[in-house]
Amino acid sequence: MFDAPIDLSDLPGYQAAVDLRPARTVFLGRVSTKDLQDPRSSIAGQVAEASVLLEAGEQFTGYFWDVESGMLGLDERSQIGPEVYERLEVPVPRDGGLNDLLEAVERGERPGERVACERISRVAREMLASLTVEHYLESKGIAILCANEPQGGKTTGRLELRRNAQVRAEIVRHELVEQSMRGQRQHTANGYRHGPPLYGYIAVPDPAALPAANRFGGGRPKHRLALHPDRRRQATVARAFELRRDEALGDAELGAALAADLQAHPLAEGQKEWCGRNVRRMLANPKYAGYQVWNRRTRERANPICEWIWSSGPAHPAIVTLEEWHATQKVTEQLRERRRSGWDRVQAAADERGVPLTRTRESDEHVVLEVDGRQIVVPRGQLPPAAADELVDFLQASR
């Protein structure tokens, strides 16, 4: 029906050249985490499923797989060291992870002409990530094949199934995030701890919260915070809060004060010294007021206080009162504000109140400002914090 009207089989190029080289196919897999799924059975099962895409007598020429969340961005994938994978004892060889495969292709090594996986969500749960990988490999002449997709037939049918699968994986990704957030919020509301215990506390299992069994045995017990048996630690925390509130000591000054008497203020296990960073984190933590608090930070930034999730009531013994913690944060903010340029603070206060700030005269040593009809003499150059404080107070009282 679509043939030429005469026989053209004697012409060069009538038949496409046939590549007689055997096809090379690499396996690509992923399992969520070693806690949620058993990587030994899951990866081996994925290999078995993807093997249906091999031609007769063909073997995979490479195995690239990861044990990590499919919700990670591509730049965060394949970060676990090989020693961790050795301990997992997965009965499948590993030539690297997804990023190792992409880097090999980028170097021009082409581990294979085809990449086979069980389903497209094994590449990534986020649609943009899986589309990016798919597009990149296809631009290099490497096709991604999925065992759960029909082989042969029209491209449109296969493409429709794959795009639907990617959309479904994206929806499942968001659903898992929502369920995880809900669980974390309830976990916090019930007063259970997140992360390692902070200085002055230890973690103890809650006998009232029996671990739920799962298909791999008993679940992990829930923990609450309890006071550390070394009472000097609670005294150290209370003293740090007191020095900040009453004497307005900065982070470095507080660290030096604690380091001056390590007998009274012992270091935590693994802590090398008292430094400003240790103190700053301690004083900012509302858990010292006896409440569990979650969602204070994401990986990228600190969250606004209005987004924090608090326990429904006191969850463990407090070292400071909630009012003392609150007062400490106010002093910390004042100290942070004073680290700004004195002139910046004064100008910001003037702008906030709508008060004109005019330099009328100046000499080598002083500047005369006219503020709300009054003249004020201040030192020339960098404005000392004390002078800036007085000017800010005056501007805030104006109008």
> Which of residues 336, 355, 377 is at a domain's end?
336
Does any domain span residue 350?
A: yes
Burial letters 224-260, b for 16+ CB under 10 A, else e: bbebbeeeebbebbebbbebbbeeebbbebbbebbee
Q: Are residues 304 and 345 in the same domain?
A: no
User: What share of the chain has pLDDT > 90, as a percent?
Assistant: 43
Range of the domain at 366: 340-397
Q: How many CA atoms lie within 13 A of 224 on its CB side?
A: 17
> Which of residues 315, 336, 357 is at a domain's end?
336
Q: Which residue has the higher pLDDT, 314 or 35?
A: 314
Does any domain span residue 190?
A: no
3-class secondary structure, 50: helix
Close Cβ partners of 174 (under 8 Å, ≥ 6 residues apart):
none
Q: Are 206 and 223 in contact (CB under 8 A)?
A: yes
Q: Are residues 120 and 246 in the same domain?
A: no
- Could you tell me the CATH number of the domain that includes residue 245? 3.90.1750
3-class secondary structure, 352: helix
- Could you tell me the CATH number of the domain that includes residue 377? 3.30.920
Q: Are residues 363 and 259 in the same domain?
A: no
Q: What is the pLDDT of residue 216?
A: 47
Rounded mean pLDDT of 44-52? 93
Radius of gyration in angstroms for the set of CA atoms belonging to the chain, rounded to a whole number: 32
Q: Are residues 125 and 30 in the same domain?
A: yes
Measured distance CA(221)–CA(206) in Å, rounded: 7
Look at the chain and report how many structural domains it folds into: 3
Encoded tokens for 51: 């093997």
Q: Are residues 311 and 253 in the same domain?
A: yes
Measured distance CA(99)–CA(78) in Å, rounded: 6
Measured distance CA(189)–CA(181) in Å, rounded: 12
Measured distance CA(380)–CA(199) in Å, rounded: 45
Query: Which of 172-176, 226-230, 382-386 is predicted with the least confidence, judged by mean pLDDT?
Result: 382-386
Handedness of CA 368, 371, 372, 374 (dihedral sign): negative
223-227 and 357-362: which strand pairing? unpaired
Q: Are residues 316 and 357 in the same domain?
A: no
What digits encode the pLDDT tens for the residues 208-227? 766 555 544 556 678 999 99
Does any domain span residue 121?
A: yes
Does any domain span residue 113?
A: yes
What digits encode the pLDDT tens for the residues 324-335? 999 999 999 888
What digits encode the pLDDT tens for the residues 146-173? 998 888 778 888 888 888 888 888 888 8
Q: Are residues 322 and 369 in the same domain?
A: no
